[in-house]
Amino acid sequence: MAEAQLFVSQDEFICSVCLDTLTDPVSLHCGHSFCLKCLTDYWDQSQECSCPHCRHTFMLRPELKRNTLLNEVIKKLKKTTLSSPPSQNYAGPGDVECDFCTGKKFRAVKSCLTCPASYCQTHLQPHYEVATLKHHKLVDPDRNLKEKLCEKHQKSLEIFCKTDDSCVCMMCVVTGHNGHKMVEMETVREKKQVSRV
């Protein structure tokens, strides 16, 4: 009998926690697989047991058993074609690093002003899939997120107070700038861009 050819992408064997090839792979009931150590460490640092990829929550911490079939497939692929993820995905000098990558950091593709954190493509995925995260304000990767946060409330600076000539968060508007002349930051940016032209 002829041996069947199997074509797979290396992305199918990457742990979404460490973003490296799976080591001692374990699979959850939701179907996602992780390195045994990565998942154990993730749960040890968390208040609840949930899938790091889809955020499915488990009532009880599942017993983790090594996926021997997946482990054998990865071993065979490592001998032939599977290597670590392409180096162009790793953050280099001048790039914003993902705040959630462990080990060698991937390049951030977006920063979230609500969280505030920067995310690589893999760790950004929940912002597109989880209902509560879909409303977060995503911007191009920014290494100066702290400058865009209110020092007092740690909320994003969304409003410009004309009265005090300063950027403020929504909490500042309610607590200390009541009755002041306000305008959204986007409006201020647009006016500055128009005046430069």
Cβ(62)–Cβ(86) below 8 Å:
no
- Across 110-134, average pLDDT: 89
**Is the pLDDT assigned to residue 118 strictly greater than 80?**
yes
**Using the 8-state DSSP alphabet, how is residue 161 labeled?**
E
Average pLDDT, the chain: 82
pLDDT-based confidence at residue 195 (cuts at 50, 70, 90): low
pTM here? 0.46
User: Can you tell me the distance from the alpha carbon of 110 to that of 32, in angstroms, rounded to the nearest whole number?
Assistant: 24
Contact 50, 30 (CB under 8 A): no
Confidence at residue 25, expressed as pLDDT on a 0 to 100 scale: 92
Q: Residue written as tokens 């979230």?
A: 112
10-85 maps to which CATH number? 3.30.40.10
Task: Give, in degrees to the nearest 5, the angle at Cα 17 between 135 and 119.
Answer: 40
Residues 6+ apart with CB under 8 A from 186: none
- Tens of pLDDT, residue by residue over 24-59, are 999 998 888 999 999 999 899 888 889 888 888 988
**Cβ neighbour number for residue 111 with a 10 Å cutoff:** 24
Average pLDDT over residues 88-105: 85
Residue 165: left (phi > 0), alpha (psi -120 to 50), or beta? left
pLDDT of 9: 52
Query: Would the pLDDT of 197 be above 70?
Result: no
Architecture category of domain 86-148 in CATH: Irregular (4.10)
3 is written with which tokens? 């041996």
Integer CA distances (angstroms), 195 to 162, 165, 184, in order? 18, 18, 17
* Mean local confidence (pLDDT), 135-139: 87
Domain ranges of the chain: 10-85, 86-148, 159-196
Neighbours of 30 (CB within 10 A): 13
Nearest CA to 126 out of 58, 20, 55 is that of 55
